[in-house]
Amino acid sequence: MVEDKRCVLAYTSMYIEPDGKIRPCCVSSDFEEELNFNDYKTIPELYNSPQMRGLRKSMEDGTPSKVCDICYKGNNGLMPYWNERWKHKLNDPNLSDSKYNVKSLDYLDARFSNICNFKCRMCGPGLSSQWDEDHIAVEGQSGADYLANRVMIHSDPVGKFTAKDLQTIEHMNVGGGEPFITADFWKLIDSFTDEQKSEITMYVNTNGSVVKYKGESIMEKLSKFKEVVIGVSCDGFGAIGEYQRTGMNQKRFDKNFTHMLEYAFGKDNLIISMEYTITSMNLFHIQDFIFHVKDKWPALGYGIHFHWATTPYYFAPVLAPNKLKQQFISYIEGVLINPREDGVLTDFIHEGEEYQKQHEYSSPIDESLNAFLNHLNSADVEAIRNMQINKNAMPVRKFMKIIDERRGEDWKVVVPHMEAIINADLTLI
């Protein structure tokens, strides 16, 4: 029997970028023949476009398109997670027809705008409007040309969704830019009736910089949904957090995050989680961060999820020079053993029997750090190099110098271990 290589998201989901590019999900690469939000008039034409149908066919033929290399060659955890959660959809014989068409959009994954009040170092002008001037400083005329000529999405992306399109949505994954300051995000939220909201689950990612929109409480607005996981990005505390996420203000973040936790307390449908993106800059900060969060917000405890950058190449831990990469691996192996020995004890049932599991920290931390270690040890490095967006990236030393000067920072003070990457001056791509 041929191994089932399907991913349920290729059949149910559509990811929309601020520039209008469409991909099956937020971790996939662009289609070889790009698909754009403005290529078709309707949403069904988009999710049944030749590109989406071709991807489904490639999976059913047992050779998934390279659009999905991040999962099939890079050990990303998104596919196994959704294949398990939506096993019933995957097993449905009517999942698609003989031409690989599907009947509905069940999962809307969208970044309708790049409007942001931060300019994180591993980000860029595509996902942050704050990056434009720094981008020109780094890229020169080609950067200015890119910004002058780039096409942004449809002026009213939410308006393209009919009531029928919205009706089938079961889950949304929304990011930005910063969605909480973006009118299109709130237009989407307000497009659903309260009854629909009570049927929809959502993951929304925020940088934690605001808790009100036009005077209204954001937490109150979100509390109408069946379940909302609010992933609050924070890549470190103090100097390292503010260095990686330019625009973050630790004091304001602490105040807002405390408010979110207090509002969500006792409400089963509001879940707050901390999201930490591991880069080669903040990797050695992980252990301190875990304990900092646990001590500052005991109500959250070990509620941190770790993710990791695969672009740009100089911030991708898996592409670090070998000696530093080995240090990263040893460090993570050490972190995986909790020196405080105060991990969470959870109950679970396996084949009708009740068991207890003692976590080193918690399920989110243990699982995401183990997945990261697996990524460091076994990801297809060549495939990740080939995923780099900017094939003409300037030497990292020059990039760091320009950005540091513009932001009044100094990598030698905040992230001195980056020297190994900067000195290697790798032209990996």
Our finding on whether 108 is near ligand SF4 (CB under 6 A) is: no
The secondary structure element, H or E, covering residue 230 is strand 227-233
Q: Which of residues 378-417 bind ligand SF4 (CB under 6 A)?
A: none
Nearest to 207 by CA among 161, 281, 275: 275
Smallest distance from the beta carbon of 11 to ligand SF4, in angstroms? 9
346: phi then psi, degrees, rounded to nearest 5: -120, 150
Pick between residue 13 and residue 36 the one whose CB is nearest to ligand SF4.
13
Give the distance, in angstroms, between the CA of residue 150 and the centroid of all CA atoms in the same chain: 23
Quote the CA–CA distance of 61 and 84 in Å, as a whole number. Answer: 21
Smallest distance from the beta carbon of 370 to ligand SF4, in angstroms? 19
Query: Please, which residues bridge with residue 275 across strands?
Result: 233, 305
Smallest distance from the beta carbon of 307 to ligand SF4, in angstroms? 14
Pick between residue 25 and residue 158 the one whose CB is nearest to ligand SF4.
25
DSSP state of 36: B
Quote the CA–CA distance of 363 and 270 in Å, as a whole number. Answer: 19
Smallest distance from the beta carbon of 175 to ligand SF4, in angstroms? 15
Smallest distance from the beta carbon of 80 to ligand SF4, in angstroms? 9
Pick between residue 16 and residue 272 the one whose CB is nearest to ligand SF4.
16
Q: Which of residues 6-25 bind ligand SF4 (CB under 6 A)?
A: 7, 9-10, 24-25
Do 50 and 353 form a contact (C-beta atoms < 8 A)? Answer: no
Our finding on whether 317 is near ligand SF4 (CB under 6 A) is: no
Smallest distance from the beta carbon of 313 to ligand SF4, in angstroms? 20
Smallest distance from the beta carbon of 283 to ligand SF4, in angstroms? 24
Stretch near ligand SF4 under the rule CB under 6 A, chosen from 2-10, 165-173, 239-247, 381-389: 2-10
Task: Output the six-digit token pair for 387.
Answer: 């995923």
What angle (nearest 5°) sits at the alpha carbon of residue 184, between those of residues 133 and 261? 90
- To the nearest 10°, report the CA torsion of 263, 265, 270, 271: 120
Do 384 and 318 form a contact (C-beta atoms < 8 A)? Answer: yes
Stretch near ligand SF4 under the rule CB under 6 A, chosen from 42-50, 73-81, 241-249, 309-317: 73-81
Q: Which of residues 27-66 bind ligand SF4 (CB under 6 A)?
A: 27-28
| Helix, strand, coil % in the chain, rounded to nearest 5 | 45, 15, 40
What's the farthest any 2 CA atoms get from each other in the chain? 65
Question: Which position among 43, 52, 70, 387 is part of the footprint of ligand SF4 (CB under 6 A)?
Answer: 70
Nearest to 168 by CA among 283, 11, 369: 11
Pick between residue 70 and residue 261 the one whose CB is nearest to ligand SF4.
70
Pick between residue 24 and residue 179 the one whose CB is nearest to ligand SF4.
24
Smallest distance from the beta carbon of 108 to ligand SF4, in angstroms? 14
Residues that bind ligand SF4 (CB under 6 A): 7, 9-10, 24-25, 27-28, 68, 70-71, 76, 78-79
